[in-house]
Amino acid sequence: MDRPFQTIALVGKYKSPEIAEPLLKLAEFLAGTGLAVVVDNLTAEHLGQHAYAELALEEMGGKVDLAIVLGGDGTLLNVARTLAPFNIPLVGVNQGRLGFLTDISIDTMQRTIAGILKGDFVTEKRMLLSASVVRGKEHIFDSLALNDVVMHRGNNSSMLEFEVRIDGEYLYHQRADGLIVSTPTGSTAYALSAGGPILHPALEAIALVPVAPHTLSNRPIVLKSQSTLEILLHCCEEARVRFDGHTFFDLQRDDKVKVARYIDPVNLLHPTGHSYYHTLREKLLWNQSP
């Protein structure tokens, strides 16, 4: 039977020299099984001399069948936003702390990945958000997000005032430190710390979570994934919109942030037997006695 993957891309945590040893061991293992190995060009800067081809993430579309990410959830978020349009499935190896997305232990990665390469895996589709900033009639910035799109005030500014519309219908006008637009994946990230609900990743939904709202009646709300959101910034001294906590854009008064579901999902591969509820119990310490 043909193996489902022939060319494997390896991506390590950005500017992390300590990832070199485990990544090169994994590359040697993969190459030893007859697979072609490609290394992300930024990761390769910390590997020293090696025998593998190098490609930028943006060049991998149509050239690799699978990307294995060594790092933490932040690393996988960055890779997912770039590779999602190319429909390249991702496997996450955890070298970070929480590891909601990068769920394979670095100590057992060779054995686990060997099973995945033989077809012993389950596929989980995660929705992304597509967001843009509109100033006047001009689209001046856009980005994707796997976790969340967050509009927030600056460190030295007062509360933001903004208006929210859903599919063109007015929802509310509020003052708050910010507003989180979250996918189910992002519901266990910033949205959770701001009091939002945990959404199972298989749900097709968007959570709207205010950050420190001025009025206690302003509560999180869960929307259908087909919704289009418009956030109009009325008053601000300093305001910024962030995408997955990494990419950002500075906003001005009367800027509009538009958010909708992105057309393509991210495909995450997990070992057979993977359980989302087990991950919640382990990462949120629900398995400890009160």
pLDDT tens for residues 127-171?
Answer: 999 999 999 999 999 999 999 999 999 877 789 999 999 999 999
If one counts the domains in the chain, the total is 2
Is residue 288 situated within a structural domain?
no
Task: Please give the pLDDT value at position 181.
Answer: 98
Residues 213 and 273 in one domain: no
Residues 197 and 232 in one domain: yes
Residues 123 and 185 in one domain: no
Is residue 278 situated within a structural domain?
yes
Nearest one of 131, 159, 180 to 234, comparing CA atoms: 159
Measured at the CA of 196, the angle between CA 249 and CA 232, to 5 degrees, comes to 40
Is residue 2 situated within a structural domain?
no
* Cα–Cα distance measured from residue 64 to residue 233, given in angstroms and rounded to the nearest whole number: 41
Structure tokens at 135: 């100033």
Nearest one of 166, 188, 146, 174 to 258, comparing CA atoms: 166
What is the span of the domain harbouring residue 146?
A: 129-261
Rg of the chain taking only CA atoms, in angstroms: 20
Structure tokens at 273: 């037997």
Percentage of the chain exceeding pLDDT 90: 81
Read off the CATH number of the domain in which 38 is found.
Answer: 3.40.50.10330
Asked if residue 290 has pLDDT above 80, the reply is: no
> Sorting pLDDT into bands at 50, 70 and 90, what band is 110?
very high
Read off the CATH number of the domain in which 234 is found.
Answer: 2.60.200.30
Is residue 12 situated within a structural domain?
yes
CB 20 within 8 A of CB 47: yes
pLDDT tens for residues 166-212?
Answer: 999 999 999 999 999 999 999 999 999 999 999 999 999 999 999 99
Q: 20: how many CB neighbours lie within 10 A of its CB?
A: 18
Is residue 290 situated within a structural domain?
no
Task: Please give the pLDDT value at position 1.
Answer: 47
pLDDT tens for residues 46-94?
Answer: 888 899 999 999 999 999 999 999 999 999 999 999 999 999 999 999 9
Catalytic residue positions, numbered: 73
Higher-confidence position of 200 and 14: 200
* Cα–Cα distance measured from residue 47 to residue 28, given in angstroms and rounded to the nearest whole number: 13
Is residue 216 situated within a structural domain?
yes
